Structures are given as structure tokens and as C-alpha cells.
Amino acid sequence: MTIAPGEAAFPGESDEDLLDVSVVVTPGMPIWEGDPGLTLERVMSIADGALANVSELCCGVHTGTHVDAPNHFIEGAPGVESLDLSALIGPASVIEIPRASPAIDVSALVGVQLAGIERVLFRTRNSELWQRPGFQRDHIVIAPEAARLLVSSGVRLVGIDYLSVGSPETHRILLGAGVVCLEGLDLQGVEPGRYDLFCGPLRLDGADGAPARVLLRKRAKVAPAHERPQ
């Protein structure tokens, strides 16, 4: 089943506010240059007499929508199994940065209210790159100074809508401060605003990253005062 952004993730549920912002994992999908490719193949098949259909997945841990672990850029740091689960689930803000190029720098964050925001997902023109075949080099990243600003403001998770948050320096600033880097989001059609984030990376022992299923749910609108229980 393929779920486009904006569609309900679970059949039978009518929760139209639930958004799947993970990219589809499939051979031929854009992969970071130099990273392992992806194969997803049926290796046992009922049609061929096997008792069950069984497939084999081979790919790098930074494939598609994924999180980075501290040891991705910091030798000796913890792996992905160490990530604080409480950073992966909770209120998140989708912030649109429409004009940043080639990087989200400090000036792009002027006027962005970061106080009290623990999880921030940047929606840029990157999301449109998913429409193009193959890896796209001209994606928007986060500049190191902006990464420092995010760290100092208390952000615990930073998401970006293509395959990297930025340079090695940007990674080291974020990962070194214990900030989860969530990469490869597809935020096409996702309105800026407040959501509940559900990010479930695979529990890969010691790995420097892990593919993740990521869902957003619009935060319930606050009921008018006269409808609230007293």
C-alpha cells in the first residue's frame, strides 16, 4: 500500500488529519551519492511452492526517511539504539522556509518562534525534489550557525525534507548536542503549523542511522472556552 502525504495511514480509519511524511522505500528511490543502493526482492514465494512469501531487504541505514545517530559523525558516540525515545514522539512544528538557498541560515530563522519548540521540521523546496528521479545535489541544508541557534534554543529533534541536514559540521553540532537529525522527510502538501510527531526508527544495534516511519497528526484545535469543561 502506498500512502501519499495527506492520506490516512491506516485503512478504515477516518483520521484525515494523520499524515504519512515518510518516503516510499523502493528500488530506484533517490539514495545519497556513494551510499549503498537498495534491493527489495522476494526470495521465497508461495507461487513457487514455498510455505510463505519472504522478501529480503538490503540497503544502507541512511535510506529514505531516516534518523542519524551520534556515531554517524562522532567516532565513539552512541548508536541509533541509544536515541532518547521521548525526543522522537511529541509536539512538533512544521516551519516553512520557502526562500532559503542554498542553506537555512540564521537570517532565514529571523522571526521564527523557536522558544519552547522541541521538535522542528523544516519544509523547503526540497520536498519537490522527491518528484525527480535519482539523487539531487541542489538540496537545501541547514547552515552550521543555524544549527547552533537551534541547539541553543533547546530543540531536541530537527527534520529536513531531503537526505541531509547539512555539512559534517552541521551534523556534529546537532548530534554532539544530542539533537536527533531526522532526514528524508516528504513534506509536500504539509501545511506549516503544530503537529504531533511519531517517529519510529528501527532498533538497529550500534548503527549510525536507521530508516524510520514518520507520521504527523494535526494538533487538535483548542475548543472554544464555552465548550471546555469547567
Of 100 and 163, the one with the shorter C-beta distance to Zn ion is 163
Q: How far is the CB of 72 from Zn ion (least distance, A)?
A: 6
Of 5 and 166, the one with the shorter C-beta distance to Zn ion is 166
Q: How far is the CB of 65 from Zn ion (least distance, A)?
A: 10
Cα torsion through 55, 215, 30, 120, rounded to 10: -150
Q: How far is the CB of 128 from Zn ion (least distance, A)?
A: 20
For strands 39-44 and 54-58, give the pairing. Answer: antiparallel
Active site residue 139: no
Q: How far is the CB of 183 from Zn ion (least distance, A)?
A: 5
State the cell numbers at 129: 525534489
What span, in angstroms and rounded, lies between the C-alpha atoms of 81 and 92? 22
**One of 72, 139, 171, 226 is an active-site residue; which one?**
72
Of 59 and 112, the one with the shorter C-beta distance to Zn ion is 59
Of 68 and 105, the one with the shorter C-beta distance to Zn ion is 68
The alpha-carbon radius of gyration of the chain (Å, integer) is 18
Count the residues in the chain.
230
What span, in angstroms and rounded, lies between the C-alpha atoms of 7 and 10? 9
Of 162 and 198, the one with the shorter C-beta distance to Zn ion is 162
Q: What residue is closest to Zn ion based on CB?
A: 62
Q: How far is the CB of 15 from Zn ion (least distance, A)?
A: 29
Can you give the binding site for Zn ion, defined by CB under 5 A?
62, 68, 183, 209
Residues with active-site annotation: 72
